[in-house]
């Protein structure tokens, strides 16, 4: 079994987002030996994430560039992200889910892609519904043209929900013949350049232009609920340094 299929949840748990993680400059100074991703081979793409904002933070510029080139881009969010703040009541969680769905729709409009599909699986428990998710993604991909791509959160990203979405997408792609690419989100936080837990040999860089990168930056600002915690006792889900790093490192995929 290769590193691509091993869970890195223990690595992320040992380095929570509030701890800062790997400094941005280390990634920018690293020489990542990765080939460019050929986007001309993509006729249509389904971008699957675990929570509203995964698609934007990990793949937003690429999705926006494809859409600008006339490629249909369909975002699919497995959950509505209601468990972002553990201290919230059931009613507060419901309100947060509604807020995050609205934020996702706003971000999709900024990116210039189709209105997202929200599957409503329970945030934080996607692994327990992985077969259902695989079936839903299979249904979505089966309705797409031959050769459609599926971009999903990487199976080794560290967050259990991200990894479950990656596994389900791999099953769905295998069933339908879709081209699977996996994008990291939290890898940039817990990993380091040259880390043995990352399959660098399968990495490709997404060649995005300045305009698409700017649309990603603007779309990321849609997710205000992740920057502004509900109480002073809760840290933000996306501390400023984490967002800065995600915007600075660019976008890569594993194939």
What tokens does 116 get? Answer: 């997202």
CA distances from 135 to 51, 119, 142 (A): 18, 12, 10
Residue 31: pLDDT band (50, 70, 90) is confident
pLDDT at 6: 84
CA dist., res. 9 & res. 102, Å (int): 29
The number of angstroms, rounded, from the C-alpha of 199 to the middle of its chain's C-alpha atoms is: 17
* pLDDT value of position 15: 92
What pLDDT was estimated at residue 159? 97
Q: Which two tokens stand for residue 234?
A: 């809760």
* Residue 88 pLDDT > 80: yes
* pLDDT, tens digit, 9 for 90 and up, residues 121-147: 999 999 999 999 999 999 999 999 999
The answer on pLDDT for 5 being more than 70 is no
Whole-angstrom Cα distance, residue 107 to residue 112? 9
pLDDT of residue 190: 97
Give yes or no for a contact between 53 and 104, defined as CB atoms under 8 angstroms apart.
Answer: yes
pLDDT at residue 3 greater than cutoff 60: no
Task: Please state which of the ranges 1-15, 66-80, 145-159, 179-193 shows the lowest mean pLDDT.
Answer: 1-15
Both tokens of residue 201?
A: 């040999």
Distance of CA 122 to the CA centre of its chain: 17
Is the model's pLDDT at 180 over the cut of 80?
Answer: yes
CATH number of 3-254: 3.40.50.10320
| 105-125 confidence digits (pLDDT tens) | 999 999 999 999 999 999 999
Q: At what angle do helices 54-68 and 240-248 cross, to 10 degrees?
A: 30
Banded pLDDT at 1 (limits 50, 70, 90): very low
């Amino acid at each position: 079994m290769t590193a691509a299929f091993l869970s890195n949840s223990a690595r992320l748990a040992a380095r929570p987002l509030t701890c800062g993680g790997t400094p941005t400059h280390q990634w920018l100074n690293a020489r990542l030996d990765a080939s460019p991703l050929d986007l001309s081979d993509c006729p249509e793409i389904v971008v699957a994430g675990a929570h509203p904002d995964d698609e934007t933070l990990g793949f937003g510029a690429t999705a926006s560039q494809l859409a600008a080139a006339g490629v249909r881009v369909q975002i699919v969010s497995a959950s509505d992200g209601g468990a972002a703040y553990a201290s919230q009541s059931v009613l507060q969680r419901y309100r947060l889910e509604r807020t995050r769905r609205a934020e996702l729709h706003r971000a999709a409009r900024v990116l210039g892609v189709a209105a997202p599909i929200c599957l409503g699986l329970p945030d934080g428990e996607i692994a327990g519904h992985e077969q259902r998710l695989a079936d839903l993604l299979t249904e979505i991909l089966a309705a797409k043209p031959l050769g459609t791509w599926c971009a999903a959160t990487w199976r080794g990203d560290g967050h259990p929900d991200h990894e479950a979405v990656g596994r389900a997408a791999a099953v769905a792609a295998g069933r339908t013949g879709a081209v699977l690419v996996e994008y990291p989100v939290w890898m940039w936080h817990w990993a380091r350049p040259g880390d043995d837990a990352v399959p660098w040999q399968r990495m490709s860089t997404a060649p995005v232009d300045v305009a698409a990168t700017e649309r990603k930056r603007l779309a990321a600002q849609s997710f205000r609920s992740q920057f502004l915690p509900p109480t002073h006792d809760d840290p933000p889900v996306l501390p400023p340094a984490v967002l800065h790093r995600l915007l600075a490192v660019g976008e890569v995929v594993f194939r």
